[in-house]
Amino acid sequence: MARESAHAIARTRGEKLVTGGWLTLAVAIPVSCIFSDDPFDLSAGLAALSLITLCAAFACWPKLFLGPINYKGLCDELPRGSAIAMTLFVGLTVLRGFVELVA
């Protein structure tokens, strides 16, 4: 029995809208940091990077906001790109915590 891959299924208009919103937010964060008058801070930079990866995780998985959540099969349904972005988000957040402790 052939399975349909996640890439073969056409995205709905709502999924495209949610993905576009998260990608817009992921672009707006670094642009606002570039045009900010504040001096560069390592902790703030790590916070911005972790927010960008969180936006990317949600952009890879727009069905999270459009349909009911199947908690029992949540890990089975998580797309690979979203899982990688979530892992980066957690890693950057922990790294920022260590930076804050040292500073």
As a whole number, mean pLDDT of residues 22-30 equals: 86
Higher pLDDT, 64 or 56: 56
Does residue 3 register a pLDDT over 70? no
3-state helix, strand, coil in the chain (%, to 5): 70, 0, 30
Contact (Cβ atoms closer than 8 angstroms) between residue 52 and residue 32: no
Please give the pLDDT value at position 55. 84
Higher pLDDT, 2 or 46: 46
Does residue 4 register a pLDDT over 70? no
As a whole number, mean pLDDT of residues 64-93 equals: 81
Q: What global pTM score does this model have?
A: 0.68
End-to-end CA distance of the chain: 57
Grade residue 28 by pLDDT with cuts at 50, 70 and 90: confident
As a whole number, mean pLDDT of residues 57-61 equals: 82
Grade residue 1 by pLDDT with cuts at 50, 70 and 90: very low
